[in-house]
Amino acid sequence: MQQHGLAFDVAHLLAGGMLLVSFVLLYQRRMFAVLNSFALHAIVLALAVAWQAFVQDAPHLYITAAIALLFKGIIIPVALHRIVVRLEIHREVETVIGVGPTMLGGIGLVALSILVVLPVTASSAAFAREDLALALSIVLLGLLMMITRRNAITQVVGFMSIENGLILAATGVRGMPLVVEISVAFSILIAFVVFGVFFFRIRERFDTLDVQYLGTFRGGQG
Partner 1 sequence: MHLAAVLDLILVLLALGAAGAATARLAAGRIVVYGGCFAACAALLGLAGAALLGPEAAPSTLSLPLGLPWLRANFALDSLSAVFLVVIDLGGAMASLYGLGYGRHEHEPDRVLPFFPLFLAGMNLVVVADDAFAFLVSWEFMSLSSWALVLAHHREKATLHAGYVYLVMASIGTVALLLAFGVMAGPGGDYAFAAIREHGLSAGAASAVLVLVLVGAGSKAGLVPLHAWLPLAHPAAPSHVSALMSGVMTKVAVYAAVRILFDLVGGVQWWWGAIVMGLGALTAVMGILYALMQHDLKRLLAYSTVENVGIVFIGLGLTLAFQADGLVTAAALSLSAALFHVFNHSVFKSLLFFGAGAVQTATGERDMERLGGLIRFMPVTALVFLVGSASIAALPPFNGFASEWLVLQAILASPDLPQWALKFLVPAVGAMLALSAALVAACFVKAFGITFLGRPRSKSALQARETDAVSRGVMAALAGLCLFAGVFPGVVMEGFAPAVRQLSGGAVPVSEGAQWLLLLPQAGSRSAYSGVVVFVLILCACALTFFVVRAVGSSRTRRAPAWDCGFPDPSPATQYTADSFAEPIRRVFGTVLFDARESVDLPAPGDMRAARFEVRMRDYAWDLLYEPVAVAIAYAAERFNRVQFFSIRRYLTMVFGALIFLLSVVALWR
Partner 2 sequence: MAVNPFVLQAGQAALVVALAPLLTGIVRKAKARLLRRRGASVFQPYRDLLRLARKDAVLAENASWLFRSTPYVTFACIWAAAVFVPTFATRLPLSAAADLIVIVALLGTSRFMLALAGLDVGTSFGGIGSSREMMIASLAEPAMLMIIFTLALMARTTDLSTIAADFALGHVGLRVSLGLALVALIMVAIAENARIPVDNPATHLELTMVHEAMVLEYSGRHLALIEAAASLKLLLYISLIGCVFVPWGIAAPGAGTGAIAASLAAFAGKVAIGAVLLAVFETAVAKMRVFRVSEFLTGALLLGLLAALLLFVSRSF
Burial of 196 (C-beta count, 10 Å sphere; 0-12/13-18/19+): exposed
| Shortest CB 190 distance to partner 2, Å | 28
Beta-ladder partners of 92? 30
**17 part of the interface to partner 2, by CB under 8 A:** yes
Among 13, 20, 74, 115, binds partner 1 (CB under 8 A): 115
Q: Which does 143 bind (CB under 5 to 8 A by kind): partner 2, partner 1, none?
A: none
Fill in the per-residue mask, 129 to 168: x = in contact with partner 1 (CB under 8 A), - = not in contact. Answer: ----------------------------------------
| Cα gap 137→159, rounded to integer Å | 14
Determine if 48 is a binding residue for partner 2 (CB under 8 A): no
Handedness of CA 90, 96, 97, 103 (dihedral sign): negative
Confirm or reject binding of residue 178 to partner 1 (CB under 8 A).
Answer: no
CB 93, CB 29: distance < 8 Å: yes
Give me the DSSP letters along 161-221. Answer: HHHHHHHHHHHHSTT-TTHHHHHHHHHHHHHHHHHHHHHHHHHHHHS---HHHHHTTSSS-
* Cβ neighbours of 172 (radius 10 Å): 22
Residue 189 partner contact from partner 1, partner 2, none using kind-dependent CB cut-offs of 5 to 8 Å: none
Measured from the CB atom, is 133 or 160 closer to partner 1?
Answer: 133
Burial of 97 (0-12, 13-18, 19+ CB in 10 A): exposed
C-beta of 69: minimal distance to partner 2 in Å? Answer: 21
Beta bridge pairs of residue 149 = 95
Give the per-residue contact string, 28-47, with partner 2 (x = CB under 8 A; - = no): -x------------------
Binding site for partner 1 (CB under 8 A): 98, 100-101, 111, 114-115, 119
Binding site for partner 2 (CB under 8 A): 1-4, 6, 8-10, 12-13, 15-17, 19-20, 23, 27, 29, 98-100, 103-104, 106-107, 110-111, 114, 118, 126, 130, 134
